Structure 1
């Protein structure tokens, strides 16, 4: 009697059941494998894990509105390991070589901020070293926008607001490292603040001046930023917000329409994944054949 209950499984494929299932399973496996290969490739190139970081504050923003290529809150940047100071192009060097990233000259680095106990992502303005008691700027060759008055280093027309930056290095004698600045910080400090120098019409906007930290040494650098994925970091940041780990002063400064752009991007990605490419291709092919 058992023979009457025997079912030939292979017959199901002729009805289009297991065949389609196997096809979709294969497509998803190929997609997952491709994603894994891309992530492995990025990690190998970056030389660091994780090879990406989400920007949590607005200190690098250039506007209240989202701008392409600018580091806004919620931007995901890739991070490449830095082995020595030559791996970092500073603002001074970038301005001479016309090398820029994220809307301004020079590289943006991620480093351990000892004053805040967090990783800060800001622009490397110049590398400070010392010749005895005299400060030296790597890449300085009497550029007209740079002035050195004893222990005051002044850089004119810096950033998207074209402001003057002043760095007093008297407290860093013997300490070599990168002087760093947030693009937004330099552009928005008030003339009524203690960080404004009326004599030179310049702002003490460097991280070293604001937080009282030393120049960033090579050992403090996590890596330099490259690449750019806008908006998607907002997903992580809002999870942190629910946990009380994303400050109000930051989440209220997300550029306008960022959440709308994120939503539209997610919908577009889902649409691209679910779109019936083969069915559409076959239909189009049949239409052309019959025409």
Structure 2
């Protein structure tokens, strides 16, 4: 019986790494959910619209990354790119917050950077953009209207935006005309202008031009409303979202090769490290070395009987 008990304990010891790991995972998932306020609390990045290069890097949002999303319900909870110019607030390698939003009719939510917040001016019929009052005058201009931050119409141009230093030309007139048209079915409103960090092109004159959602995505022709907001991105688990993309056959051809290599290396480390650690601890125990207690040294004279009187 003692030998059977020892064998059972030995097997249990060898399996404990595989028992502890799922428990730790569940605890971490619960903590992330409590922080996020959403279920699921994370999204897998399926495109390269937020990358800063063809290869992935920690600190930016790349294809195959998993990003935690913290629930928000108002644009007032978002620090836009323009808001962050005087403060330096940075997320994922550029100024401002990255948000997740979803509008009915979209195939899936979009995760892009909030560039600026427009407030519809019901009196003048244009947009107020208060953040412009706090950025350098050389950073922006208005075409087709007076240069001011309130009741703006025309085209707002922002210069040296993002990691690529693009020019972002936001056609406010087109958005206002769309929302004031008889076919719109609503009233004009303000909201967020959004853009993916990687969404730019080189113009005929060599200028890099930003491709913002409200012009380049057919289902988003107006500023992002409060009710479309899902949350803002917080944190990053690189590479592991590739497991889902490959399992579902949706991994794009432009998936960063270094992400695939890093994923394989990470999985190997997760599987092998607990086993190696358990073997090392077992060997140390056999040699009488105890990390979490005093080493037991046998007293050579402790088993000797006292001589008879």
Shorter-chain TM band: 0.7 to 0.9
User: Secondary structure at the residue paired with 1:184?
Assistant: strand
Deviation at 1:115, TM superposition (A): 6.3
1:253-291 per-residue CA deviation (whole Å, 9 max, x = no partner) reads 11232211111111111112222252254368649989x
Matching of residues 44-55 of structure 1 within 5 Å: 44-55=34-45
Task: Sort the Cα spacing of 1:29 and 1:256 in 2 relative to 1 into closer, same or farther, 3 A.
Answer: closer
Aligned to 2:197: 183
Task: Sort the Cα spacing of 1:93 and 1:280 in 2 relative to 1 into closer, same or farther, 3 A.
Answer: farther
User: Secondary structure at the residue paired with 1:215?
Assistant: coil
User: Secondary structure at the residue paired with 1:147?
Assistant: strand
1:43 aligns with 2:44: no
TM-score of the superposed pair, with normalisation by structure 1: 0.82
Match for residue 206 of structure 1 among 198, 208, 212: 212
Matching of residues 1-291 of structure 1 within 5 Å: 9=1, 12-13=4-5, 16-24=6-14, 28-113=18-103, 116-131=106-121, 132-144=124-136, 145-149=139-143, 150=145, 151-173=154-176, 174-186=188-200, 189-192=201-204, 203=209, 205-212=211-218, 213=220, 214-241=222-249, 246=250, 251-275=252-276, 276=278, 277-282=280-285, 286=289
Structure 2: how far apart are the matches of 1:27 and 1:267? Answer: 14
Say which is worse superposed, 23-32 or 118-127, in terms of deviation.
23-32
Deviation at 1:239, TM superposition (A): 2.1
Aligned residues: 264
User: Secondary structure at the residue paired with 2:30?
Assistant: helix
5+ residue gaps, structure 1: 1-8, 193-197
Structure 1: how far apart are the matches of 2:253 and 2:16? Answer: 44
Say which is worse superposed, 113-122 or 32-41, in terms of deviation.
113-122
User: Secondary structure at the residue paired with 1:183?
Assistant: strand
Task: Sort the Cα spacing of 1:232 and 1:127 in 2 relative to 1 into closer, same or farther, 3 A.
Answer: same
TM-score of the superposed pair, with normalisation by structure 2: 0.77
Structure 1: how far apart are the matches of 2:283 and 2:112? Answer: 47
Task: Sort the Cα spacing of 1:285 and 1:106 in 2 relative to 1 into closer, same or farther, 3 A.
Answer: farther
Contact 2:74–2:229, Cα closer than 8 Å, also in 1? no
Runs of 4+ with >6 A deviation: 287-290
Contact 2:199–2:211, Cα closer than 8 Å, also in 1? yes
Structure 2: how far apart are the matches of 1:222 and 1:287? Answer: 50
Task: Sort the Cα spacing of 1:136 and 1:263 in 2 relative to 1 into closer, same or farther, 3 A.
Answer: same
Larger radius of gyration: 2
Say which is worse superposed, 97-106 or 23-32, in terms of deviation.
23-32
Structure 2: how far apart are the matches of 1:172 and 1:238? Answer: 38
User: Secondary structure at the residue paired with 1:254?
Assistant: coil
Contact 1:63–1:255, Cα closer than 8 Å, also in 2? no
User: Secondary structure at the residue paired with 2:48?
Assistant: coil
Deviation at 1:104, TM superposition (A): 0.4
Structure 2: how far apart are the matches of 1:108 and 1:283? Answer: 53
Contact 2:118–2:193, Cα closer than 8 Å, also in 1? yes
Q: CA RMSD in A?
A: 2.6
Contact 1:166–1:202, Cα closer than 8 Å, also in 2? no
Q: Which has the higher helix share?
A: 1
Aligned to 1:3: none
